[in-house]
Amino acid sequence: MDGYLIAWLVVAFGAVGIGVGLFLLLRRSNVLARRLLIAAALAALLLPAPVPGHTEQLAPAFVVCIFEAFFQIDGAPVQSLRVLLIGLAAALLLTLAGHYLLLRYFVRSESD
C-alpha cells in the first residue's frame, strides 16, 4: 500500500470512530439531532478536495482549508471551503430527507 491510501484509511477509520462516539454520546438525545450531527461530522471529515498545486491528489477538505488558510503565505482556501460547505449542506439535506421519508414510511406502515 502506498502512503496516499494509508492516509485515507486513517481518515476513514477516524471518521467511523468519531461517528460511533457521537452515536454513543448522543443516544439519549433527539433522533433527528443525532442523525444530523453524525452526518455533519462524517461529511466534514470525509469530503475530498483537490490539493492546490497537485490537483490530481485529493485530501480531506477541512485539512486543505486549514492548511491553505493558516500555513500558506498566499493560500487559497476558497475552493476547499466551497467543497466543504456544499458537501455539508448536501449531507444535511439528504439526512433530513431520509429521516422524514423513513418516518413517513414507518408511520404509514404501522397505521395500515
What is the pLDDT, as a whole number, of residue 52? Answer: 86
What is the pLDDT, as a whole number, of residue 43? Answer: 95
What is the pLDDT, as a whole number, of residue 104? Answer: 83
Chain segment 30-65, per-residue pLDDT in tens: 999 999 999 999 999 999 999 888 878 899 999 999
User: 58: buried, middle or exposed (CB in 10 Å: 19+, 13-18, 0-12)?
Assistant: middle
**Percentage of residues of the chain with pLDDT beyond 90:** 67
CA atoms of 112 and 108, how far apart (whole Å): 6
What is the pLDDT, as a whole number, of residue 15? Answer: 96
Mean pLDDT, the chain, rounded, equals: 90
